[in-house]
Amino acid sequence: MATGRTHRPATRSRGIPEATVARLPLYLRALTALSERSVPTVSSEELAAAAGVNSAKLRKDFSYLGSYGTRGVGYDVEYLVYQISRELGLTQDWPVVIVGIGNLGAALANYGGFASRGFRVAALIDADPAMAGKPVAGLPVRHTDELEEIISENGVSIGVIATPAGAAQQVCDRLVAAGITSILNFAPTVLSVPDGVDVRKVDLSIELQILAFHEQRKAGEETAAVRRTGTAGRPAAAAREGRKGPDGDVPAVMPA
């Protein structure tokens, strides 16, 4: 990561809209891929396409970082990686605990993408005494009795909940009481937390339901087109083509 620059444009670490913050990881993922291919600069259009974002939105987002690119050259890939990483707080190491080491917790523990992005799995915690000490992803599973001690010893501020829904609130309360201020919740339940604690929820079934909604709508369009023209298939396909932009790159479902 290029961190050796002495001149940095002023950035506003406060006051960045939440929607911009949500897109920064998309830019970072696209930029990291360019950096791995040793691509030195990228235009806003190329980067926007790689991140699946509209290029005017990208330029506006980058203006919040104080990054305007160079006319005719584009953005310096390495420097943008550094800038976005710094804005997202990824230039420091974040110890994370995962609570609930079943199918999902073990899969998350084995996922290499956390460590490579600065999220070190400090401990794996489970309530099942039979799991205590068993290695998962190279770490011995620790019992929930040790939860508070683990969090304070490792200075953990992010907790991942992968327990059954019924246990999630109680686990959340213990994490918060132990000093955790950010929670990534995979359990299908809404968590109550005090002010100052951030919760992000991941629910793949909700994503599938949204896709189902769009599938149903597409099927509805097809039926309507058949009624209008008496021809199956082609009119609906043409209607879908018609929704695409000039480059044919506008997805039917935009990333959130």
Ligand X SMILES: NC(=O)c1ccc[n+]([C@@H]2O[C@H](COP(=O)([O-])OP(=O)(O)OC[C@H]3O[C@@H](n4cnc5c(N)ncnc54)[C@H](O)[C@@H]3O)[C@@H](O)[C@H]2O)c1
* Residue list, annotated binding site for NAD(+): 100-105
CB of 204 or CB of 237, closer to ligand X? 204
Closest approach, Cβ 145 to ligand X, in A, equals: 10
Range 192-199 contact pairs with CB under 8 angstroms and sequence separation of 24 or more: 199/172
CB of 67 or CB of 163, closer to ligand X? 163
Residue type, 64: Y
Using the CB atoms, write b or e for 97-136: b if 16+ within 10 Å. bbbbbeebbbebbeeeebeeeebebbbbbbbeeebbeeeb
Rg (CA), the chain: 22
Whose CA is closest to 101, among 64, 58, 135?
A: 135
Closest approach, Cβ 53 to ligand X, in A, equals: 24
d(CA 56, CA 53): 9
**Binding-site sequence positions:** 100-105
Closest approach, Cβ 255 to ligand X, in A, equals: 17
CB of 208 or CB of 238, closer to ligand X? 208
Residue type, 253: V
Closest approach, Cβ 256 to ligand X, in A, equals: 15
Closest approach, Cβ 171 to ligand X, in A, equals: 5
Nearest to ligand X by Cβ — which residue? Answer: 102
Instruction: Put the strands of the sheet holding 139-143 in their side by side order.
Output: 135-136, 139-143, 119-126, 94-99, 158-161, 182-185, 198-201
CB of 165 or CB of 210, closer to ligand X? 165
CB of 69 or CB of 105, closer to ligand X? 105
Q: What residues make contact with ligand X under the rule CB under 6 A? A: 99-105, 126-128, 144, 162-165, 167, 170-171, 186-188, 202-204
Query: Which residues are paired to 158 by β-bridges?
Result: 96, 182
